[in-house]
Amino acid sequence: MAKKRPQTKAAKPQTASNEPVPVVGAREPCPCGSGRRYKACHGRAASHAVTELVQRPFEGLAGECDWVALRELVPAATVELKLKGGLPDGVPSITLATVLPMAWPALRREDGSVLLGLQNDTPSGDLSRDLADTLKRALSAEPGNPVAADKAPADGPRLQDLLDPDAAFAPDVHTGFEFWVPDSANADAEVTASLERANSAAIPTVRLTGVDAAYWCETPEKNHLRWAMPHPEEKLLDALARLQASGNASLGDDTRLVGSFRAHGIIVPVWDLPSAMTAEECEKPAAEFAERLAAALAADAPLTAEERRARGGLTNRQVTLS
């Protein structure tokens, strides 16, 4: 078995104290003057910054819970995005889309408008930085071209740096992917067939209007309500357990709180619904549940034995998506 090479302490960097260290090849000498290779010196921090997992990449953005839902749960939806300082010349609009054709990260249309795909694999642990890098490259891409995936610089901006914090985040949920094509009604046969294939795989989904970030969806056996919530995980699970133990966690007859997803630092409780229960019929019971949940969140008494059992059942049925 080969012996490990002893680690020696690097010499004190020789560059000016506040000057940025330029990026060079990983195996080249570090420009700071330490005598070590870049990857073992300043490159280590840069690499760590790119790969470290950011648990809540959308924290601080308007509509954080909807960002999570569109990333993980909603098949077809779009949202108009606004930049700090307004749109650059030649870019009439920026639209966030759940998914784009061919899983493109982004697309610059012929008219200069930009579509940014959300449901794509990203190269680093910071989804916000990766999306911001893709968006920046899309803004300067030649019209009529998709934008390829690329590695974001470790010191690059995040969505929180680019997007207008005061702009509303209002998802428009679609029944299919016709938003891919500006004039889908007059598309050729090949495009029409592609849209039909994509649409056939999309689960019918509706965003409720009376509460935030709650999405009804229809499946062959039963319907579901999946509701992304901004509350801290431990506090939310305690509140849900209180309601479950008291018989107040349902959304009406034949409905049941069955568990939750954990995605990007957000908890998404899930209810089973009867197949005949529509999204519109969820509105009133969801609003009533929101009031019960607010009261349960305000409670600070220790959980009872029954509530602890209910909490254990909820955590046992929790699935992590990210």
Q: For residue range 60-116, list pLDDT tens digits in order.
A: 999 999 999 999 999 999 999 999 999 999 999 999 999 998 889 999 999 999 999
Q: Which helix (H) or strand (E) holds 262?
A: strand 256-263
Which residue would you say has higher pLDDT here, 317 or 186? 317
Rounded mean pLDDT, 160-168: 97
Q: Is the pLDDT of residue 50 over 60?
A: no
> Does pLDDT of 186 surpass 80?
no
pLDDT at 15 (0 to 100):
42
Q: What's the pLDDT at 183?
A: 78
**Span 188-195, mean pLDDT?**
81
pLDDT of residue 9: 42
The percent of residues in the chain predicted with pLDDT above 70, rounded, is 87
* Other beta carbons less than 10 A from residue 167's beta carbon: 16
Instruction: Give mean pLDDT, residues 4-14.
Output: 41
Q: In this predicted model, what pLDDT tens digit does every residue of 198-231 receive, in sequence order?
A: 899 899 999 999 999 999 999 988 999 999 999 9
Q: Using the CB atoms, write b or e for 176-204: b if 16+ within 10 Å.
A: bbbbbbeeeeebeeeeeebbeebeeebee
Residue 47 pLDDT greater than 70, yes or no: no
Distance, CA of 269 to CA of 250 (rounded, Å)? 11
- Measured N-to-C along each axis, helices 279-298 and 233-245 cross at an angle, to the nearest 10 degrees, of 110
CB 206 within 8 A of CB 263: no
> pTM score > 0.95 for this model?
no
pLDDT score recorded for residue 29: 79
The mean predicted confidence, pLDDT, of the chain is 89
Residue-wise pLDDT for 270-305, tens only, equals: 999 999 999 999 999 999 999 999 999 999 999 999
Residues ≥6 apart with Cβ < 8 Å to 278: 216
Within 13 A of 75's CA, how many CA atoms are on the CB side? 18
Contact 185, 162 (CB under 8 A): no
Q: Taking the mean position of all CA atoms in its chain, how far away is CA 251?
A: 26
CA 149 to CA 118: how far, in whole Å?
A: 12
Residue 127 to residue 61: CA distance in whole angstroms:
13
Q: Does 11 score more than 50 pLDDT? A: no
Task: Yes or no: say if 297 and 290 are a contact pair by the CB < 8 Å rule.
Answer: no
Q: Evaluate whether 41 touches 23 at the Cβ level (below 8 Å).
A: no
Confidence of residue 45 (pLDDT cuts 50, 70, 90): low
Per-residue pLDDT at 7: 42
Question: From residue 87, how far is each of 81, 118, 225 by CA, in Å?
Answer: 10, 20, 36
Band (pLDDT 50/70/90 cuts) for residue 194 is confident
